[in-house]
Amino acid sequence: MKSYIKIFVAGLMLATTASCGDSFLDTAPAGERTSGSSQTMEEAQSLLTGCYDGYQQAYCYGGAHFLIASELMSDNCFAGGGTDDNTNFMALDEFERGYVSEAGMMEDYWKAYYTTINRCNSLIASDASTDWKDDEVTHGNVIGQARALRALCYFDLVRIYGKVPLLSEPSVSKIKEAEPAETFELIASDLKFAADNINFGPYNEATWNSINNGLISEWAAKALLARVYLFYTGYYGAQLEAVTESEVKAGLESIISNGGFGLLDDFSSLWPASSRVAAEDGSHAWAIDNYAGESNKEILFNLKFDSNLSQGTNQNGMIAMVSMRNTTFAPYATGWGVCSVNPRLYTTYLPADRRRDASIINLAGEGITNSDKFNTSNNWREYTGYSIKKYSATGFNDGTRWIDIETPGAGADWQYKESQDMVVMRYADVLLMAAEMGCSNAQGCYDQVRDRAFGGNTNYRRNITKENILEERRLEFAFEGLRYWDLLRIQGLNAAAAILAANQNGTVVQSGGVDATVSFSAENMVNKQGLLLKPQNQITLMGTDYLTQNAGW
């Protein structure tokens, strides 16, 4: 059975929703507590749970959240979905305003981020008025995690939108959007504080399963700080004042030397759908289940989800969206077919690379298209014959989803059931960032990831180069939301746009059973500076003196 972070106590929740008038965000608390009043350490811990809960909302079911958008903007996936669906996914995939069907596209996620930011700000602001009982470990853990969560929200926002309002304390006033450099300084400062003040200690399986599962440790903060540093310095070509290169490298090396993490022997065991084989007798059981679980030695931070406790607010929004459209074929369960996989990604893997078949469903190769379970009803948009396996729902040929067996009573609507955790940071990323930055034993770090991919066969090793690092990251982290941002930071905007065009254009897809040829405009992406459309409703609410639309949209 899953273990969950408990849902935030309603009486302590800081409700934060957009409203009319002069307020940027309505931050009146739903209960009696306000950020300026004194509170106990236990109340501060409950407020922290609310911060995690808020961050979870930014990835729940309902559309293109950050991870889905990141994959659509990359060369890993096309829009997919149904021929009768709205075209917002196509707008993200092609950077094309003409496909936008809603003025508030992705607005719910925008609101979720700022709800979380204000919860974090309120908790951080209450630090001095909290009775910590001289427990400096708990004190550092709570405030450190709150600052790390605030950093994660801003890191998503600034990459997608560029200039965004920057709030570092509780506020109901309109705040003008900040330059990205200012936002990144706050992000880096928050993560550095978290890395220095959180103290969970080295990874221990029992502790991580029972206590630390789904929480941001000092190790996760150090790794996330490295991700932020590499993006900012790579894409913007400038240094951060909040943290130095040597400090970032030291953080990565400390994770490797002291964190207690490691790679799993089998890459496929990271993902439920690649770890399971259904029993041949048709029962609701697995003949093979090698899934390592949502907490294991390779996971530094995973975002927790639950099954339908409240429709649309607790489940992993990735699962139902990207699972095969109208097709249940054990061990896979049906979904909406969003993010259809680019066939050129599949062929980029060498046949011996075990990550390929652990990451991607090959519908023809696995016998799905020739079975009576394959039922697209000719309404799958941009069908390619390949689908995401890492975040595919799992189930049985009679249509029963595994979540119904794992969590009986999860609810009637399959769209709101899936609770597989979302991986935010893996140890493999620590190793590849350490290799990229030239940390101690950089080549050995790179070799560990490459060797694992080929089942320990060292004949596939390669030297560290910018090109090899970029490709290795694509193959290792496909569908984990990193490819697009890696292209931008390593290649720059213009070169990234050219690569996206070269890797997508000319690909034949089927929409409603009719062949079509992909045509991606690099010029479209460059004109929009690689950024997305800000929710127009928020611009209307704020006014253009405070919030402006991105160029080209």
Confidence of residue 310 (pLDDT cuts 50, 70, 90): low
Q: How far apart are CA 242 and CA 150, in angstroms?
A: 16
pLDDT band with cut points at 50, 70 and 90 for residue 317: confident
Compute, in degrees rounded to 10, the torsion defined by CA atoms 367, 373, 379, 385. Answer: -10
Confidence at residue 466, expressed as pLDDT on a 0 to 100 scale = 97
Instruction: For residues 318-332, give the mean pLDDT.
Output: 95
Please check whether residue 157 is in contact with residue 131, taking contact to mean a CB–CB distance below 8 angstroms. Answer: no
d(C-alpha 253, C-alpha 223), whole Å = 10
533-545 per-position pLDDT tens digit: 999 999 999 999 9
Distance between CA atoms of residues 319 and 303, nearest Å: 13
CB 334 within 8 A of CB 328: yes
Q: Are 382 and 340 in contact (CB under 8 A)?
A: yes
Count CB-CB contacts under 10 A for residue 143: 23
Tell me the average pLDDT across 112-141: 97
Q: Is 383 helix (H, G, I), strand (E, B) or coil?
A: strand
**Quick check: 25 pLDDT over 90?**
no
* Dihedral, CA of residue 310, residue 311, residue 314 and residue 316, to nearest 10: 160
Q: 354-407 pLDDT, tens per residue?
A: 999 999 999 999 999 999 989 776 899 999 999 999 999 999 999 999 999 998
**Percent of the chain whose pLDDT exceeds 70:** 92
Angle, helix 218-236 to helix 136-161, in steps of 10 degrees: 30
Query: Mean pLDDT throughout 436-450?
Result: 98
Q: What is the mean pLDDT of residues 180-201?
A: 98
pLDDT of 34 > 90? The answer is no
* pLDDT of amino acid 309: 57
Does the structure show a pLDDT above 70 at 26?
A: no
Question: Which residues on neighbouring strands pair with residue 303, listed in sequence order?
Answer: 422
User: Is 80 exceeded by the pLDDT of residue 20?
Assistant: no
φ, ψ for residue 200, nearest 5 deg: -95, -20
Q: 48 phi and psi, to 5 degrees?
A: -65, -40
Residue 103: pLDDT band by 50, 70, 90 thresholds?
confident
Name every residue whose Cβ is closer than 8 Å to that of residue 304 and which is 6 or more positions away in sequence.
4, 5, 52, 56, 213, 214, 294, 421
Task: Classify 120 as helix, strand or coil.
Answer: helix
9: helix, strand or coil: coil
Handedness of CA 402, 404, 410, 413 (dihedral sign): positive
Q: What are phi and psi of 165, to 5 degrees?
A: -60, 135
Q: Identify the band that residue 12 occupies on the pLDDT scale cut at 50, 70 and 90.
A: very low
Q: How far apart are CA 174 and CA 547, in angstroms?
A: 9
Closest CA to 111 of 159, 46, 157: 157
Does 284 score more than 70 pLDDT? yes
pLDDT in the model for residue 311: 60
